[in-house]
Every structure is written in structure tokens, then in C-alpha cells.
């Protein structure tokens, strides 16, 4: 059965679901590649819209604009394949037809060094792994390698898993990065991956924060020592400076160095945008993220960050619209459900917010905290008071840190306990403090000078 199709300068391998132009991978969303595969296999024939929906979005209700957006992207990306004419033709009220000529060799075979079918097959095999990493960062050096080493393969698998940004998978990501580093102890990107995974575990509340950040620092330092000319080691250094040291200015310098080395680094753009978001420089963060999304429209972390910016800017309807679009293509993405719950709650849509919160599948402690918050928005503070009382006992018995008191205290209207908790958190530099400047959850405390002092301590040098 035929699996490789050449049209214009492009090659589609339908078995691996990847499109190449010469030796370079064409960055297309998975759904777009599925649509293209269906159309190409039925080249010259009309494929009904219902057939496309059934094949590409089985068992899922999807609005028609999702299909038209993907068709538009395919037309724009493949416009050189149609000999001056269309590549995909719209058949009114029916569907679409692939009309470009399909040949045995890409038209650019001379320009690419006369690729044989054997060379194309080898490149596609490598491309299957490489395409996964494009959803999170743009890593040029590996694209010129015909086949990845085992270390590179482990790295790319880790990046692919990480591109989904699921808290439940972060430990798996770490193990893959660690395996990549074991296989190649000179791999700067593998150590940079370890550093970011450890740091992300801290933000997700997985494992010991102290151990995670200590290991992250070791790995980031190792990455920078191995290759100070790559962007990714500086990104990992910036993350450590931000989370472990509260060195905001130092983190910014590291991110800007990474962007000077690679202006298109998605990882650097994403981390810098996160820093700017927490600093309250939301317009700058929005510009960076929108620019990065133009270059990588399929990135889940970028799409989530775009929605988070709108949430922190109190533009809750815009956040909801962005999250709905993200969930349309990633329906099980837990953090998108979580921020959808937060945004719906702010608009008083409590029932919808509770449903989204449950679908987020986050830790039980997070769910009970935020469910109490949603009830408090309705005017019922009793769940928050009950939760605060139970957590006081945990703190008193030395089983939890004062961190766990903060949000239930705010939601129950106990500002004194909340401010006391913040003071204790500042002594140990808890990472939750980094969001104080912008997070709506802290709005009730903003008039208090004690709250403003802590915020000023954090951001005084930025």
C-alpha cells in the first residue's frame, strides 16, 4: 500500500503523518496533517465534510470553523505545490478535493541534493521524532542530523510529552531527560531539560521543592558549562534564578541572553513572557506570546500562556475564548480546564466553573481549595472556613507549611491569617509569592500596606 506522496516540493508520508520540504520538516498541526492525508489519498475526488469530521474528529462535536481553519492553513503552507493553481479546491456545500499533481519525486530533488527514495525514507524516520519537539521549542541543530542518537531520541520524546504540559506526566519527562544525559554526558540540552523539568515539578507541587530546585541548579550550571553558545542553557539558568533565588533581574538577563543567541527560541520566549506576566507587564508579555504563536501555532504551552495573560489582565471573556479554542484541539488538557474554571468563576458562572474544575483532574488539595473559593464567590464562606480550620491543625502539627492557609484564609475573609501566612512564606521564599502582583485571588489584600511591602520586596529590583 502506498504511503509516500510527492506533490510540488513536498513529501507526505501518510504512515508517519509527517510532511517534508527537502530535508526540513513542515510544521503543521496533527489535525491538519490528518486532513491532508485523507484528501491526498482521495486525490481528484470530493471528500465530504462529514467524512472528514468522522475521520479527523471521531466521536467529537466540532464546529465547522475548525475544519476551515485547517484547510486555510494547508493552502497557505502548500501554495507552492500547485503549479500556480490551487492545491485544495472547495466544492460548494459538499467538501474539498485535492487537485495538485502527485508525482514520484519532489520537484525540488535537485535543490536538495538529489534525494533518493531511500534518503527520503531515512529523513522521514528522523522527522517523526523531530516534529514532536517543534510544539515546544525550535531546535535547529538536530534538523540537520539524518538519524537521531539514542540520547537525542530520549530528549525528543521528553519534549513531545512535555509539549502537552500535563502535571501528571512531569516525572516521566524528567526520567527521559535524565536518560538522555546518561547516554550523552556532554549533551547541554539534556541537562537544560533536567533543570526545567525539576523547576516545573516545583511549580506543579510534585516532590520536594528544596530538592527539585537544588537539582535544577546543578543541571542548569552543567548545561551552561557544556555549551555557553546555546539558548537553552540560559533559559534553564533563568528559571532557577527566578524560582530558587527570586533574582528577577538575573532571570531576565538570562532570558534575554537566550533570545540574543536564538531570537526564535520558543522556550526562551515562553519563559520570558511568564516573567513579564508575573511582573504585571502584560502588554509586553502578550506581544511576545503572540509573536511566538505566529511561528508555532500548535504549541500548547504558548496557547495556555496567552490565555493566562488575559486572565491576569482581568479580561475573563477573552481568556475563556482562548481556552475554548485550546480545549477544542486538546480536550483533556488539565491546566486549560483549570484556568477555564477560574475565568468562569470570576464571571459568576459557578456551576460551569465547578464542572471545569473537576475536569482538570488536579491534586485533591487544589480542587478542595478552589471549590471553596467558588462557593465564597456565591456568598457562602462556610466551606472556606471549614477548610481553613482543618489546615490550621495540619500546620500546628507540623504536617504542612503556612502556604496551605493562604487561600482559604482569603476566601473566608480572615485577612489577618492570610497576611501572617504571606509573611511566613516570604521568609522561605515560597514560589507562590511570584504571582502576588497580578493574580486576582489576592485582590482583597491589595489595600493593606503589609501586602504591598512583600510585593515591593519581590519586585524591587525589576
Residue 117 is predicted with a pLDDT of: 41
pLDDT of residue 235: 96
Q: What is the spatial distance between Cα 186 and Cα 209, in angstroms, rounded to a whole number?
A: 27
CATH architecture entry for 4-123? Orthogonal Bundle (1.10)
pLDDT at 386: 96
Quick one: cell of 294? Answer: 505566529
Q: Residue 141 has what pLDDT?
A: 39
95 and 52 Cβ atoms separated by less than 8 Å: yes
Element (H or E) spanning 449, and its range?
helix 449-459
User: Cα angle vertex 47, ends 41, 51, to 5°?
Assistant: 100
User: Which of 138, 19, 17 has the alpha carbon at shortest distance from 78?
Assistant: 19
User: Which of helix, strand or coil describes residue 7?
Assistant: strand
pLDDT of residue 161: 85
> How many helices (H) and strands (E) would you count in the chain?
22, 7
Residues of the chain with pLDDT under 50: 108-146
Instruction: Return the residue matching grid coordinates 523539568.
Output: 197
The 10 Å Cβ neighbour count of residue 44 is 10
**8 Å CB contact between 49 and 94:** yes
Q: In what order do the strands lie in the sheet with 95-98?
A: 47-48, 95-98, 88-91
Per-residue model confidence as pLDDT tens digits over 288-330: 999 999 888 888 999 999 999 999 999 999 999 999 999 998 8
Q: What is the predicted pLDDT for the residue at 62? A: 65
Strand order in the sheet with 24-25: 4-7, 10-13, 18-21, 24-25
Provide the pLDDT for residue 112: 37
For residue 44, give the nearest of 99, 94, 103 by alpha carbon. Answer: 99
- pLDDT score of 343: 97
**pLDDT for 400-435, tens place per residue?**
888 899 999 999 999 999 999 999 999 988 999 999
Chain centroid to CA 236: 16
CA distances from residue 161 to 13, 136, 224, 332, 390 in whole angstroms, order as listed: 22, 10, 24, 14, 36
pLDDT of residue 144: 37
What integer pLDDT is reported at residue 323 of this predicted model?
97
Using an 8 Å Cβ cutoff, are 289 and 313 in contact? no
SS3 of 398, please? coil
Residue-by-residue DSSP string for 224-255: HHH-TTSHHHHHHHHHHHHHTT--HHHHHHHH
405 phi and psi angles, rounded to 5 deg: -85, -25
Distance of CA 450 to the CA centre of its chain: 34
Give the C-alpha distances (Å, rounded to integers) separating 281 from 113, 274, 287, 341.
Answer: 48, 10, 10, 24
Global confidence as pTM: 0.68
pLDDT tens-digit profile of 330-373?
A: 899 999 999 999 999 999 999 999 999 999 998 898 999 999 99
* Residue-level pLDDT at 123: 43
- The C-alpha atoms of residue 51 and residue 173 are separated, in whole angstroms, by 36
**Phi, psi (rounded to 5 degrees) for 156:** -70, -35
Amino acid at each position: 500500500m502506498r504511503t509516500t506522496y510527492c506533490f510540488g516540493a513536498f513529501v507526505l508520508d501518510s504512515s508517519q503523518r509527517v510532511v517534508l520540504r527537502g530535508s526540513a520538516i513542515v510544521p503543521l498541526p496533527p489535525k491538519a496533517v490528518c486532513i491532508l492525508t485523507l484528501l491526498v489519498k482521495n486525490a481528484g475526488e470530493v471528500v465530504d465534510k462529514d467524512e472528514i469530521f468522522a475521520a479527523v474528529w471521531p466521536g467529537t462535536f466540532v464546529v465547522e470553523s475548525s475544519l476551515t481553519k485547517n484547510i486555510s492553513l494547508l493552502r497557505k503552507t502548500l501554495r507552492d505545490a500547485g503549479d500556480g493553481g490551487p492545491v485544495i479546491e472547495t466544492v460548494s456545500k459538499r467538501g474539498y478535493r485535492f487537485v495538485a499533481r502527485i508525482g514520484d519525486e519532489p520537484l525540488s530533488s535537485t535543490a536538495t541534493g538529489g534525494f533518493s527514495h531511500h534518503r527520503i525514507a531515512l529523513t522521514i524516520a528522523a522527522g517523526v521524532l523531530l516534529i514532536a519537539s517543534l510544539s515546544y521549542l525550535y531546535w535547529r541543530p538536530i534538523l540537520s542530523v539524518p538519524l537521531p542518537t539514542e540520547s537525542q531520541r530520549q530528549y525528543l520524546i521528553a519534549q513531545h510529552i512535555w509539549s502537552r504540559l500535563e502535571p501528571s506526566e512531569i516525572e516521566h519527562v524528567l526520567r527521559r531527560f535524565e536518560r538522555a544525559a546518561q547516554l550523552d554526558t556532554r549533551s547541554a540540552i539534556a541537562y537544560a531539560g533536567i533543570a526545567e523539568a525539576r523547576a516545573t515539578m516545583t511549580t506543579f507541587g510534585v516532590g520536594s521543592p528544596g530538592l527539585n530546585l537544588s537539582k535544577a541548579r546543578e543541571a542548569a550550571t552543567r548545561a551552561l558549562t557544556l555549551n555557553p553558545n546555546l539558548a537553552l542553557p540560559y533559559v534553564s539558568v533563568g528559571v532557577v534564578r527566578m524560582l530558587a533565588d527570586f533574582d528577577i533581574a538575573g532571570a531576565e538577563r538570562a532570558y534575554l541572553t537566550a533570545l540574543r543567541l536564538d531570537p526564535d527560541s520558543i522556550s526562551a520566549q515562553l519563559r520570558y513572557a511568564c516573567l513579564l506576566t508575573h511582573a504585571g507587564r502584560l502588554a509586553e508579555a502578550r506581544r511576545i506570546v503572540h509573536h511566538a504563536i505566529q511561528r508555532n501555532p500548535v504549541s500548547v504551552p504558548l496557547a495556555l500562556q496567552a490565555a493566562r495573560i488575559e486572565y491576569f489582565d482581568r479580561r475573563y471573556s477573552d481568556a475563556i475564548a482562548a481556552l475554548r479554542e485550546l480545549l477544542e484541539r486538546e480536550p483533556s488538557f488539565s491546566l486549560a480546564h483549570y484556568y477555564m474554571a477560574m475565568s468562569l468563576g470570576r464571571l459568576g458562572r459557578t456551576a460551569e466553573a465547578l464542572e471545569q474544575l473537576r475536569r482538570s483532574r488536579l491534586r485533591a488539595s487544589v480542587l478542595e481549595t478552589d471549590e471553596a473559593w467558588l462557593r465564597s464567590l456565591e456568598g457562602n464562606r462556610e466551606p472556606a472556613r471549614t477548610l481553613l480550620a482543618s489546615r490550621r491543625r495540619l500546620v500546628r502539627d507540623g504536617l504542612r507549611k503556612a502556604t496551605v492557609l493562604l487561600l482559604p484564609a482569603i476566601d473566608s475573609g480572615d485577612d489577618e491569617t492570610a497576611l501572617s501566612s504571606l509573611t511566613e512564606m516570604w521568609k522561605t521564599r515560597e514560589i507562590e509569592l511570584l504571582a502576588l502582583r497580578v493574580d486576582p485571588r489576592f485582590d482583597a489584600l491589595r489595600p493593606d500596606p503589609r501586602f504591598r511591602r512583600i510585593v515591593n520586596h519581590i519586585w524591587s529590583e525589576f
